[in-house]
Amino acid sequence: MTRVFSPLILITAVLNGLMTGAVYALVALGLTLIYGVLHIINFAHGALLSAALFAAFLAWQKLGLDPYLAAFLLAPVFFALGYGLQRFIIGPASHGDDRNMLLVTLGLAVLIENALLYEFHADTRTVDLAYGFKSIDVGFTFLAVSRLISFIAVFAVALVLWLIMSRTDIGKAIRAVASEKLGAELAGIDVAHIYAMTFGLGTACVAIAACLLIPNYYASPSAGNAFVLIAFTIVVLGGMGSVPGALIGGLIVGVVESLGGFFFGESLGQVGIFLIFIAVLLVRPRGLFGAGA
């Protein structure tokens, strides 16, 4: 039996993939930003995403805050959390050795994830919103409202981030530290502060991603890991430290996943992503857009 796919269904799958991919891209953006400046992979990224999902859930449950509004509260809170983690824990604990920094972020990941498990147990929690399952008619297909909002929001966040990086003094300092740490330090830039600012920005990305995800996703102690695995793949694919790479890589992975699910079913999804990930690492660790490993 030959299966015939109408092009409209395919286009729908691609659009859905693009919308999912945008949130992946946001998680990856935080990861790549941190890598670009600190030159380490933040293994606590997934645990922080889980924590942010719980924070968004609690904001909705306890304060009655809509997740999209909660983003404006949680982004600064998580910025401060990320700043504090890097400034007072990861930075001092690393003693200037990248390998120690890796281990500390891993330790934090284990600590945060299991603290969430201890506090909330393994059950999943969901928010219940009036618009959670609403969709709009775009002529040939229907698109979920919440996912459309997240798609637009991600590009708004990317734009803000780009403005911060290109138009502000702090952005200039971050770029200076990323390209030449010692030189930046000699020019009077407080590297520890810039590291922490970068970590804060990356963590704020995670908080916004959580607020965009929670309307049709769930909070659980390990919920963030699935996204971070994908984010690792995107960051490696797009080139570590490359912001456009993370955005384009995120969209590509979203579309590939959506089309893969469409053609092959979703059961093999995770192994597929891992295998792509390993293959890219082994064959082209610089990624598609990266300058050097």
Partner 1 sequence: MKGFAAIAVAVAALACVPLFVHSNVVLNFMVVALMIALAGQGWNILGGYGGQYSFGHAAFFGTGAYMTATLQVRYGVNAWLAFAAGIAAGALVGAVIGGLAFRAGLRSSYFALVTLAFAEVLRILAGVAPITGAGVGILIKLDLRPQSFQFQSRAVFYFVILALVALSLVITRLLERSRFGAWLIAVRENEDAAMALGVDAFAVKLGAMVVSAAITAAAGCFYAQYFLFVDAGIGYGPWISIEALLTPIIGGAGTVFGALLGALVVKSLGEGAKLLTGDAPGLDLMIYGAVLVLGIRFAPRGLVGAVTDAYNYFRSAMQKPAAEAAHG
Cβ proximity to partner 1: between 114 and 179 the closer is: 114
Instruction: Provide the β-strand partners of residue 144.
Output: 135
C-alpha closest to that of 34 among 261, 228, 267: 228
C-alpha closest to that of 259 among 3, 9, 4, 1: 9
CB of 98 to partner 1, least distance (A): 6
Cβ proximity to partner 1: between 122 and 130 the closer is: 122
CB of 140 to partner 1, least distance (A): 36
CB of 290 to partner 1, least distance (A): 11
Instruction: Provide the β-strand partners of residue 125.
Output: 219
Greatest CA separation found in the chain? 70
CB of 106 to partner 1, least distance (A): 7
Q: What CA–CA distance (Å, rounded) separates 156 from 169? A: 21
For residues 65 and 73, the answer to whether their CB atoms sit within 8 Å is: yes
Cβ proximity to partner 1: between 57 and 151 the closer is: 57
Residues forming contacts to partner 1 in the complex (CB under 8 A) are: 35, 39-41, 43, 89, 92-95, 97-100, 102-104, 106-118, 121-122, 221, 229, 232, 236, 240, 270-271, 274-275, 277-278, 281-283, 285, 293
For residues 173 and 189, the answer to whether their CB atoms sit within 8 Å is: yes
Q: Which residue's structure tokens are 């299991």?
A: 114
CB of 131 to partner 1, least distance (A): 34
Per-residue buried b or exposed e for 71-88, using 16+ beta carbons within 10 Å of the residue's own CB: bebbbebbbebbbebbbe
Cβ proximity to partner 1: between 35 and 79 the closer is: 35
Cβ proximity to partner 1: between 138 and 268 the closer is: 268
Q: What is the 3-class SS of 19-38, one letter each residue?
A: HHHHHHHHHHHHHHHHHHHH
Q: Which residue's structure tokens are 């990624």?
A: 287
Calculate the dihedral angle through the C-alpha atoms of 148, 251, 257, 1, rounding to the nearest 10 degrees: 80
Cβ proximity to partner 1: between 11 and 110 the closer is: 110
CB of 147 to partner 1, least distance (A): 27
CB of 28 to partner 1, least distance (A): 14
For residues 131 and 146, the answer to whether their CB atoms sit within 8 Å is: yes
* Secondary structure element (H or E) that encloses residue 8, with its range: helix 7-38
Cβ proximity to partner 1: between 47 and 65 the closer is: 47
